[in-house]
Structure 1
């Protein structure tokens, strides 16, 4: 007989998802919490949405939260830094 641990994410008495990893279950719970908050904000917005549309949009926005923060700066590549250092050295000699 095997023992299997399961983590269930339950919202408003409804089981949303089951995980075998606590970290994943906690992350999904936080996602649903954020979606719930976004839905509350959307309710107060200037556009009237049906409840199902509002829920779907809130979940979508929560799932894509990283994309909503704007474009991220790309870290400089080592080759770019080396070229810049070489250019600086040439200017210092000249």
Structure 2
């Protein structure tokens, strides 16, 4: 018999998702926390007509957390590692 460890994210008594690592479960739980904060903010805007649209947009923004933080100026973009360009100098012939 095999033993399988699973991490279950539960919200309001409802099972949302199962994960095999604690880190994945924590990340998903954190994303759900962001959604819970974003939904009321989006509902206040009156730009979206229904609650489902607000929730869908909140999930999208939460999933795009890193680019959103960069766009808001709360985080700087990661520096891209590029190969050093070798500048060749011409020798006088």
Q: Which residue of 1 aligns with 2:32?
A: 32
- Residue 68 (structure 2) pairs with residue 64 (structure 1): no
Which fold has the larger relative contact order, with Cα–Cα distance below 8 Å and residues 6 or more apart in sequence? 1
Alignment correspondent of 2:14: 14
Change over 3 Å in CA distance of 1:76–1:9 after alignment to 2: closer
Give unpaired runs (5+ residues) of structure 2.
88-93
Unpaired segments ≥5 residues, structure 1: 84-94
- Regions of 4+ moved over 3 Å: 73-78
Return the TM-score normalized by structure 1: 0.72
The TM-score normalised by the length of structure 2 is: 0.73
Higher helix share goes to which structure? 1
- Cα deviations across residues 25-68 of structure 1 (Å, max 9, x unaligned)? 00100001101111121122242431111111100000002112
